[in-house]
């Protein structure tokens, strides 16, 4: 197809101002403009860059998701209508890796407790044996792709021994040991930290269930930066309430925004972040580079980078 007009959908506003991406992509060859939900406005584009899905996208030739996770896009309908879907995997490695390191350092150095106490103007030192350090601990990372590898790189530099879980047990750089998904319970068994970086698929939905929390050590912390429904959230809450694990840092949830009545908000050993583990001022540039590369590939007849459908 011919690419003449790219729309940057206003839903990208969740992560960066749409105009930043329009300016970054501004080019003589292709027209780029911010668009809203008007179906005619969408249909007037050949391609759309977006955060969320809209039914009107079935009228365009190419949709680029500014997220790596594309679980909310209807693949079958895209396929049937011949719409190409590309995603933004490959950019979040270090961003999410540093956020995960922040969670682990908070738990180890008790920073989340100090911040909570500060809100109350309370001078309250941790018990003598509460603090610990990261070197020598083990993190088991579920998913060894961009996020998992970024987590492994940052935690590795802090002296954490990192193991991974993927569909096959094939080795991955940065991971000391790799387990296949069917050995998940064994993989999490001796870890100080269990960290989910998985996409949401039919296979991963509720992959982390009560059996996984049961298999984890009582002093282990759980982290989810992948997708909420990969975890059975009520089993997680149960594990936290019964002290069968030590705590959790959560960026993603079964329902987002996390409902006000969720018990997760009030737990001392739970860190809640609002799906922002990958937020960074560079986000629009990284997305822009993927879009530009695909515009060039389209012009030279090469296959799309990061094509999903
Ligand atoms: P990648 O495609 O690079 O990595 C996905 C990994 O998941 C691969 O290692 C793959 O392993 C593994 N995997 C897939 N299915 C299974 C399974 N059934 N069992 C075990 N492992 C499995 O994706 P990214 O790392 O870029 O992103 C991962 C997800 O993280 C996204 O889909 C998104 O939902 C989420 N995300 C969240 C962010 C946030 O803001 N919190 C930011 C960015 C992404 P293999 O193929 O080797 O089996
Ligand atoms: C906004 C979230 C993804 O899948 O959900 C994340 O890429 C992105 C930074």
For the CA of 170, the nearest atom of ligand 1: 47
pLDDT of residue 240: 99
Digit-coded pLDDT (tens) for 59-115: 999 999 999 999 999 999 999 999 999 999 999 999 999 999 999 999 999 999 999
For residue 58, pLDDT over 90 is answered with yes
Write the ipTM: 0.99
Length of the chain: 309
Percent of the chain with pLDDT over 90: 98
pLDDT of residue 141: 99
pLDDT of residue 27: 79
State residue 194 phi and psi, 5-degree precision.
Answer: -115, 120
Q: Is 112 a catalytic residue?
A: no
Question: Which residues make Cβ contacts (< 8 Å) with residue 153, sequence separation at least 6?
Answer: 93, 94, 97, 174
Digit-coded pLDDT (tens) for 27-37: 777 999 999 99
pLDDT of residue 3: 95
For residue 39, name the pLDDT band (cuts at 50, 70, 90). Answer: very high
Give the neighbor-by-neighbor strand order of the sheet with 138-142: 177-180, 161-166, 138-142, 193-196, 221-224, 247-250, 270-272
Distance 299 CA to ligand 1 centre (A): 30
Q: Which residues does residue 247 pair with via DSSP β-bridges, in sequence order? A: 221
pLDDT of residue 28: 76
Residue 158 neighbours by CB distance under 10 Å: 15
Query: Among 12, 16, 69, 100, which is best to mutate for testing ligand 2, by the most ligand atoms less than 8 A from CB?
Result: 69
Digit-coded pLDDT (tens) for 122-160: 999 999 999 999 999 999 999 999 999 999 999 999 999
For the segment 263-290, the average pLDDT, to the nearest whole number, is 98
Q: Is 281 a catalytic residue?
A: no
**3 state DSSP class of 6:** strand
């Amino acid at each position: 197809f011919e690419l003449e007009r790219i729309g940057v959908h206003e839903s990208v506003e969740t992560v960066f101002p749409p105009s930043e991406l329009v300016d970054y992509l501004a080019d003589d060859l292709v027209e780029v403009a911010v668009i809203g939900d008007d179906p005619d406005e969408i249909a007037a584009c050949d391609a759309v860059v977006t955060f969320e899905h809209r039914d009107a996208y079935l009228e365009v030739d190419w949709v680029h998701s500014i997220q790596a996770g594309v679980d909310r896009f209807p693949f079958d309908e895209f396929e049937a209508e011949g719409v190409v879907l590309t995603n933004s995997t490959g950019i979040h490695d270090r961003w999410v890796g540093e956020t995960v390191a922040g969670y682990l350092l908070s738990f180890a150095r008790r920073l989340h407790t100090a911040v909570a106490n500060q809100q109350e103007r309370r001078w309250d030192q941790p018990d003598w044996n509460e603090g610990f350090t990261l070197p020598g601990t083990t993190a088991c990372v579920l998913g060894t792709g961009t996020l998992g590898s970024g987590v492994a790189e940052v935690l590795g530099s802090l002296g954490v021994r990192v193991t991974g879980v993927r569909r096959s047990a094939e080795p991955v750089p940065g991971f000391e040991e790799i387990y296949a998904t069917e050995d998940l319970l064994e993989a999490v068994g001796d870890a100080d930290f269990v960290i989910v970086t998985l996409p949401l698929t039919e296979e991963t939905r509720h992959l982390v269930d009560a059996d996984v929390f049961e298999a984890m050590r009582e002093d282990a912390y759980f982290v989810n930066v992948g997708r909420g429904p990969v975890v059975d959230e009520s089993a997680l809450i149960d594990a936290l309430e019964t002290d069968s694990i030590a705590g959790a840092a959560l960026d993603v949830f079964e329902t987002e925004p996390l409902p006000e009545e969720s018990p997760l908000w009030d737990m001392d050993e739970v860190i809640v972040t609002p799906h922002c583990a990958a937020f960074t001022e560079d986000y629009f540039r990284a997305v822009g580079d993927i879009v530009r590369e695909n515009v060039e590939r389209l012009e030279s007849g090469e296959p799309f980078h990061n094509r999903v459908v």
